[in-house]
Copies of this chain bind each other. A is one copy, B any other.
């Protein structure tokens, strides 16, 4: 039986996050601490129209739909434009106004480039970008721009199911 998979097969290992000024969490978030969970990483900018109309509302829906034990949503403010306009107080006000409850950090700026560290490591093309990381830390989806809810839901659901099977197998 040759069945098409709902989610892409393993590609590469997800680079670690390098971010500061985290909100909605007591301490900086590292992917290394999230093994065993599916992670949805949403890179955005407060002053990016598609981030505000699509990326952020979808991140919030994912956070509200799944148990955080199964699926952890992380926001990353990848400031690569409008550097003069941005500061952590802008992000703080945004998080308050949009009632975001998942952890959100600011991507670490680089001295020699307008592109911040994590954005460069992931070779993101802009904002919003979404990265789906499985329970073993591998990238299973990486997109730029709007993402369809039904398809994304199916991919997340398949990864949760997969990670539960892995957990059972490890325990056996």
Asked if A98 meets B164 with Cβ closer than 8 Å, knowing A150-B149, A151-B65, the reply is no
A112 touches B (CB below 8 Å): no
Complex alpha-carbon distance, A162 and B162, angstroms: 8
Asked if A6 contacts B47 (CB within 8 A), the reply is no
Q: Which residue of B lies closest to A37 (CB)?
A: B3
Asked if A1 meets B154 with Cβ closer than 8 Å, knowing A90-B47, A97-B47, the reply is no
Asked if A165 meets B167 with Cβ closer than 8 Å, knowing A151-B153, A154-B157, the reply is no
Asked if A90 contacts B94 (CB within 8 A), the reply is no
Residues of B within 8 A of A160 (CB): 3, 6, 154, 158
Interface residues contributed by chain A, number (CB under 8 Å)? 55
Sampled A-B contacts (7; CB under 8 Å): A49-B97, A65-B150, A149-B149, A150-B153, A154-B154, A154-B157, A161-B165
A29 touches B (CB below 8 Å): no
A18 touches B (CB below 8 Å): no
Residues of B within 8 A of A6 (CB): 66, 70, 156-157, 160-161
12 additional contacts (CB under 8 A) given A84-B89, A153-B155, A161-B161: A3-B167, A6-B157, A49-B97, A82-B93, A149-B150, A152-B153, A153-B153, A154-B157, A154-B160, A156-B157, A157-B158, A158-B161
Residues of B within 8 A of A61 (CB): 150
Asked if B85 contacts A92 (CB within 8 A), the reply is yes
Residues of B within 8 A of A65 (CB): 148, 150-151, 154
Within 8 A of B (CB), among A84-138: 84-87, 89-90, 92-94, 96-98
